[in-house]
Amino acid sequence: MTVEQIRNLHQAKPFKAFTVHIADGKSVEVTHPENMLQSQGGRTIIVNTQGEEMAIIDLLLVTKVTIKQGNGSAPRRRK
């Protein structure tokens, strides 16, 4: 995962939730762009996970990122 790739996901319009998978087998979901902060150099991200909990992740330890498809609701049908 490169600095530019994570920055592009974070700044995408419209934003799509994504999950960051780490080398130790853990994963962290970024559900909103305001829940993630990228360091000035870009190599470290901080993700607010639940309430006051945060995950600090070095991008060198990221194995993959998966993007959540859709919003989980059924598609609307036109009449």
> What average pLDDT is seen over the chain?
87
The rounded average pLDDT for each run of 10 residues, N- to C-terminus, in the chain (79 residues) is 89 95 95 94 92 93 89 47
Residue at 9 is within a domain: yes
Closest-CA residue to 22 (of 68, 70, 66, 69): 66
Residue at 76 is within a domain: no
> Could you tell me the residue range of the domain that residue 37 belongs to?
3-67
- What pLDDT was estimated at residue 2? 85
Number of structural domains found in the chain: 1
- What pLDDT was estimated at residue 1? 75
CATH number of the domain enclosing 13 = 2.30.30.100
Please answer whether residues 66 and 20 qualify as being in contact, where contact means their C-beta atoms are separated by less than 8 angstroms.
no
Please give the model's pTM, rounded to 2 decimal places: 0.80
- What pLDDT was estimated at residue 70? 66
